[in-house]
Amino acid sequence: MSVILYEYKEFEGVADALVKIPELEQVVMNNSYVIEYNSQQMPESFKYKFDSVVGRLLWYMYVANNVAFSLQYQENTDIFTPEEDAESYTVEEAMDKFLSFFYNIYTNNGTVFLGSDWLNLARDVQSFVLSKKPRGYEDGGTIANSTQHFRIMETDTPIYKEGGQIDMDL
Protein backbone atom coordinates (compact mmCIF):
# COMPACT_ATOMS: atom_id res chain seq x y z
CA MET A 1 0.00 0.00 0.00
CA SER A 2 1.30 3.44 -0.81
CA VAL A 3 0.00 6.98 -1.00
CA ILE A 4 0.04 8.68 -4.40
CA LEU A 5 0.19 12.46 -4.36
CA TYR A 6 -2.19 14.08 -6.85
CA GLU A 7 -2.23 17.65 -8.13
CA TYR A 8 -5.13 19.99 -7.47
CA LYS A 9 -5.89 20.31 -11.18
CA GLU A 10 -6.71 16.58 -11.17
CA PHE A 11 -9.19 16.96 -8.29
CA GLU A 12 -10.72 19.99 -9.97
CA GLY A 13 -11.08 18.09 -13.25
CA VAL A 14 -12.80 15.21 -11.49
CA ALA A 15 -15.21 17.62 -9.78
CA ASP A 16 -16.01 19.20 -13.15
CA ALA A 17 -16.83 15.80 -14.65
CA LEU A 18 -18.75 14.40 -11.67
CA VAL A 19 -21.24 17.27 -11.65
CA LYS A 20 -22.25 16.17 -15.15
CA ILE A 21 -23.78 12.97 -13.72
CA PRO A 22 -27.46 13.75 -13.06
CA GLU A 23 -28.02 10.70 -10.81
CA LEU A 24 -25.16 11.74 -8.54
CA GLU A 25 -26.96 14.96 -7.63
CA GLN A 26 -29.63 13.01 -5.74
CA VAL A 27 -26.96 11.07 -3.81
CA VAL A 28 -25.03 14.21 -2.86
CA MET A 29 -28.00 16.41 -2.02
CA ASN A 30 -29.60 13.64 0.07
CA ASN A 31 -26.47 13.13 2.16
CA SER A 32 -27.31 13.71 5.84
CA TYR A 33 -24.63 16.39 6.29
CA VAL A 34 -25.76 18.34 3.21
CA ILE A 35 -29.39 18.16 4.32
CA GLU A 36 -28.49 19.30 7.84
CA TYR A 37 -26.29 22.13 6.56
CA ASN A 38 -28.93 23.36 4.11
CA SER A 39 -31.66 23.22 6.76
CA GLN A 40 -29.93 25.93 8.79
CA GLN A 41 -31.35 29.41 8.67
CA MET A 42 -29.17 31.32 6.22
CA PRO A 43 -29.51 33.19 2.95
CA GLU A 44 -30.36 30.88 0.07
CA SER A 45 -27.14 31.88 -1.71
CA PHE A 46 -25.09 30.37 1.16
CA LYS A 47 -26.73 26.95 0.92
CA TYR A 48 -24.95 24.13 -0.80
CA LYS A 49 -25.76 23.49 -4.42
CA PHE A 50 -24.72 20.27 -6.12
CA ASP A 51 -21.68 21.69 -7.89
CA SER A 52 -20.46 23.61 -4.84
CA VAL A 53 -20.71 20.55 -2.57
CA VAL A 54 -18.83 18.36 -5.04
CA GLY A 55 -16.19 21.07 -5.50
CA ARG A 56 -15.74 21.51 -1.76
CA LEU A 57 -15.57 17.72 -1.21
CA LEU A 58 -12.85 17.36 -3.83
CA TRP A 59 -10.95 20.32 -2.32
CA TYR A 60 -11.00 18.67 1.11
CA MET A 61 -9.96 15.36 -0.44
CA TYR A 62 -7.05 17.15 -2.13
CA VAL A 63 -5.93 18.56 1.23
CA ALA A 64 -6.37 15.13 2.88
CA ASN A 65 -4.30 13.53 0.10
CA ASN A 66 -1.49 16.06 0.66
CA VAL A 67 -1.52 15.54 4.42
CA ALA A 68 -1.59 11.73 4.08
CA PHE A 69 1.32 11.83 1.62
CA SER A 70 3.31 14.27 3.78
CA LEU A 71 2.80 12.20 6.91
CA GLN A 72 3.44 8.88 5.21
CA TYR A 73 6.69 9.92 3.53
CA GLN A 74 7.71 12.75 5.89
CA GLU A 75 7.88 15.22 3.02
CA ASN A 76 6.46 18.71 3.03
CA THR A 77 4.12 19.35 0.13
CA ASP A 78 2.72 22.64 -1.05
CA ILE A 79 -1.05 22.67 -0.78
CA PHE A 80 -1.49 26.20 -2.07
CA THR A 81 0.09 26.12 -5.50
CA PRO A 82 -0.38 28.49 -8.45
CA GLU A 83 -3.70 28.03 -10.27
CA GLU A 84 -3.56 25.71 -13.25
CA ASP A 85 -6.29 24.76 -15.66
CA ALA A 86 -8.30 21.78 -14.49
CA GLU A 87 -7.58 18.46 -16.13
CA SER A 88 -10.28 17.29 -18.51
CA TYR A 89 -11.81 13.88 -17.87
CA THR A 90 -14.65 11.85 -19.25
CA VAL A 91 -17.23 10.77 -16.70
CA GLU A 92 -15.75 7.25 -16.74
CA GLU A 93 -12.22 8.56 -16.15
CA ALA A 94 -13.46 10.85 -13.39
CA MET A 95 -15.18 7.99 -11.59
CA ASP A 96 -11.98 5.91 -11.75
CA LYS A 97 -9.94 8.86 -10.50
CA PHE A 98 -12.38 9.48 -7.65
CA LEU A 99 -11.90 5.90 -6.45
CA SER A 100 -8.14 6.40 -6.54
CA PHE A 101 -8.44 9.71 -4.69
CA PHE A 102 -10.57 8.02 -2.04
CA TYR A 103 -7.92 5.34 -1.54
CA ASN A 104 -5.12 7.92 -1.40
CA ILE A 105 -6.56 10.12 1.35
CA TYR A 106 -5.50 7.43 3.83
CA THR A 107 -2.03 6.75 5.18
CA ASN A 108 -0.72 3.19 5.11
CA ASN A 109 -1.97 2.62 8.66
CA GLY A 110 -5.48 3.83 7.80
CA THR A 111 -5.37 7.37 9.17
CA VAL A 112 -7.48 9.83 7.20
CA PHE A 113 -7.47 13.61 7.48
CA LEU A 114 -11.01 14.36 6.40
CA GLY A 115 -13.79 15.36 8.77
CA SER A 116 -16.41 12.68 9.36
CA ASP A 117 -19.18 14.62 7.61
CA TRP A 118 -17.09 14.99 4.47
CA LEU A 119 -15.75 11.44 4.73
CA ASN A 120 -19.31 10.11 4.86
CA LEU A 121 -20.18 12.17 1.79
CA ALA A 122 -17.09 10.79 0.03
CA ARG A 123 -18.25 7.27 0.96
CA ASP A 124 -21.69 8.03 -0.51
CA VAL A 125 -20.06 9.16 -3.75
CA GLN A 126 -17.76 6.13 -3.68
CA SER A 127 -20.78 3.80 -3.28
CA PHE A 128 -22.52 5.52 -6.18
CA VAL A 129 -19.44 5.22 -8.39
CA LEU A 130 -18.99 1.56 -7.52
CA SER A 131 -22.66 0.88 -8.32
CA LYS A 132 -22.14 2.45 -11.77
CA LYS A 133 -18.85 0.70 -12.43
CA PRO A 134 -19.26 -2.91 -11.38
CA ARG A 135 -15.87 -4.52 -11.55
CA GLY A 136 -17.05 -8.10 -11.26
CA TYR A 137 -14.52 -8.92 -8.56
CA GLU A 138 -17.21 -10.61 -6.53
CA ASP A 139 -17.56 -13.05 -9.45
CA GLY A 140 -13.81 -13.41 -9.95
CA GLY A 141 -11.65 -10.90 -11.80
CA THR A 142 -8.73 -11.37 -14.15
CA ILE A 143 -5.35 -9.78 -13.64
CA ALA A 144 -3.88 -8.29 -16.83
CA ASN A 145 -1.45 -10.57 -18.65
CA SER A 146 -2.57 -13.53 -16.60
CA THR A 147 -4.80 -16.50 -17.17
CA GLN A 148 -5.30 -16.99 -13.45
CA HIS A 149 -8.63 -15.94 -11.98
CA PHE A 150 -9.08 -14.86 -8.41
CA ARG A 151 -12.16 -14.75 -6.25
CA ILE A 152 -12.60 -12.25 -3.45
CA MET A 153 -14.76 -13.75 -0.73
CA GLU A 154 -15.69 -13.39 2.86
CA THR A 155 -15.03 -16.48 4.89
CA ASP A 156 -14.40 -17.60 8.42
CA THR A 157 -12.29 -20.45 7.06
CA PRO A 158 -8.55 -19.94 7.43
CA ILE A 159 -6.96 -19.53 3.99
CA TYR A 160 -3.47 -20.53 5.10
CA LYS A 161 -2.02 -24.03 5.42
CA GLU A 162 0.49 -24.90 8.08
CA GLY A 163 3.73 -23.12 7.36
CA GLY A 164 1.97 -19.97 6.12
CA GLN A 165 1.24 -21.05 2.53
CA ILE A 166 -2.09 -20.07 1.00
CA ASP A 167 -4.53 -22.97 0.65
CA MET A 168 -5.43 -22.92 -3.06
CA ASP A 169 -7.91 -25.79 -2.61
CA LEU A 170 -10.66 -23.62 -1.07
Query: Is 107 a domain residue?
Result: yes
Q: What total number of domains does the chain contain?
A: 1
pLDDT in tens, 56-94: 999 999 999 999 999 999 988 888 888 899 999 999 999
139 or 98, greater pLDDT: 98
List of residues 6+ apart from 159 with CB closer than 8 A: 166, 167, 170
Structure confidence by residue, pLDDT tens digits, 113-136: 999 999 999 999 999 999 997 654
Residue numbers of the domain that contains 109: 8-141
Residue 34 maps to a domain: yes
- Is residue 156 a part of any domain in this protein? no
Q: Please compute the mean of the pLDDT values over residues 39-44 and round it to a whole number.
A: 94
The answer to whether position 78 is within a domain reads: yes
The HSE-up count of residue 23 (CA atoms within 13 Å, CB side) is 8
Q: How confident is the model at residue 160 (pLDDT cuts 50, 70, 90)?
A: very low
Output the pLDDT for position 82.
85
